[in-house]
Amino acid sequence: MRPALQYEDVVKLAVGKKKAKELDFSDWEAILSEIVVGDAFGVDRMDYLLRDSHHVGVAYGKFDHYRLIDTLRILPASPSGEEVSSLEPALGVEEGGIQSAEALMLARYFMYSQVYFHPVRRIYDIHLKDFLKDWLDGNAFPTDLRRHLAMTDNEVTAALLEAAFDESKSGHVHARRIVRREHFKCLYERNPNDVKINPEAGEAIFEALSNQFVAEQFRSDRYSQGSGPPDFPVRMRDDQIVSSLAMSEALNNVPVVSVDYVFADRSILKRANEWLNERRSEIVKLKAEVGENAETQKGGADYATS
């Protein structure tokens, strides 16, 4: 008789070792979770990149997944010759698959920068969240299991359509923006010249606009990728194990996804844009100077108390 499936088994495969740190993973459980949800070669990642690029109608997410899968291997996690070697196995590739692995990481970058973080897609996410907060009881999805499972996309879509044409319904304003395509427009996006002056330039501009006009007419959306390219083992043709980052210049130079948008209601867009254009450099610089002064004062306080 096979042992009963435990919820820990599902958690291990569903979230992986990095997120389920409180659970003990055997070597095989660690490998299985890497195959399913791994940062480098998880089938979840491969699937959504290929599937999304196909249905969206773009080529960004495509890569040679056949070649990559053919060259996947379970390898020692540590490179050959290291004094302290790890006996823990890891998912890696043969040397001949490194280009397919590079293509996968580049496909992910392109899909995130061109599709997932496109400003129009991001503002619709914000409008949907605003609608759900107004529409849901207690501003959140129910935690009761039966009620939670009963809340499907169908219920949300029907509620959106109904609220979009009925001012008395909760979330009417946000539903109207979604259904009637009256979404906020992008007023500002991350600019490398602004970031050189002030890393928090987008936040400074959002705060200035919110203070000058009506705060509800603006939305801010910021995201910065938390980690760089994954480090995985590569088996060379002479059977030596090397780090992917030591072998591949392409992987080391995959850009980090970082966005910083400020959106505005269409009714205020032109006026807000004119106002911002007249004061943009002043706002970015002023915020930077305030931050520098605060850091100087904090450093002085730290020194005085040390």
Q: What is the pLDDT of residues 92-127, one digit of tens each?
A: 999 999 999 999 999 999 999 999 999 999 999 999
* Cα–Cα distance for residue pair 169/148, rounded to 1 Å: 21
- Residue 288 has what pLDDT? 60
- Which of the two residues, 10 and 266, has the higher pLDDT score? 266
Tens digit of pLDDT for each residue in 147-200? 999 999 999 999 999 999 999 999 999 999 999 999 999 999 999 999 999 999
Query: CA 164, CA 175: separation in Å to the nearest integer?
Result: 5
Joined tokens for residue 3: 């042992």
Cβ pair 70, 218 in contact under 8 A: no
The mean pLDDT of 271-291, rounded to a whole number, is: 85
Indicate the SS3 state at residue 72: strand
Q: How confident is the model at residue 305 (pLDDT cuts 50, 70, 90)?
A: very low
pTM for this one?
A: 0.83
Residues 6+ apart with CB under 8 A from 204: 198, 283, 284, 286, 287, 288
Q: Which two tokens stand for residue 60?
A: 């960004």
Dihedral over alpha carbons 29, 30, 34, 37 (to 10 degrees):
70
Q: Which two tokens stand for residue 212?
A: 């000058």
Q: Kindly tell me if the per-residue pLDDT of 268 is higher than 90.
A: yes
* Mean pLDDT, residues 135-144: 91
pLDDT at 35: 93
Q: How does pLDDT run across 57-86, given as a tens digit for each residue?
A: 999 999 999 999 999 999 998 887 665 556
Residue 295 has pLDDT above 90, yes or no: no
262 in Cβ contact with 219 (< 8 Å)? yes
3-state secondary structure at position 237: coil
Q: What is the pLDDT of residue 300?
A: 41
How sure is the predictor about 299, in pLDDT bands with cuts at 50, 70 and 90? Answer: very low
Query: Would you state the structure tokens that stand for residue 241, as one six-digit string?
Result: 């194990």
Average pLDDT value for residue range 235-246: 94
How are strands ordered across the β-sheet holding 258-264?
185-188, 258-264, 218-224
pLDDT value at residue 265: 97
Give me the pLDDT at residue 290, please.
54
Closest C-alpha to 50, from 37, 30, 40, 64: 64
Domain limits, the chain: 118-179
Average pLDDT of the chain, as a whole number: 89
Consecutive H or E run containing 74: strand 72-76
Stronger pLDDT, 295 or 82, i.e. the higher one: 82
Weakest mean pLDDT among 7-16, 44-53, 197-206, 289-298: 289-298
Say if residues 61 and 110 touch (Cβ distance below 8 Å): yes
Across 21-30, 43-52, 91-100, 103-112, least confident range: 21-30
Sequence-ordered alpha helix ranges (H) in the chain: 7-15, 27-37, 43-56, 65-71, 98-111, 119-135, 145-150, 153-164, 172-179, 192-197, 201-212, 244-247, 249-252, 266-305
Strand partners, 223: 259
- First-to-last C-alpha distance (Å) of the chain: 65
Q: For residue 282, is pLDDT > 50?
A: yes
Count the alpha carbons within 13 Å of 152 in the hemisphere toward its beta carbon.
Answer: 2
Residue 298 has pLDDT above 50, yes or no: no
Contacts of 162 (CB under 8 A, 6+ apart): 169, 175
What CA–CA distance (Å, rounded) separates 164 from 178?
8
CA–CA distance, 207 with 137 (Å, rounded to integer): 30
Q: How far apart are alpha carbons 233 and 251 in whole angstroms?
A: 13
Per the listing, tokens 């970058």 go with 109
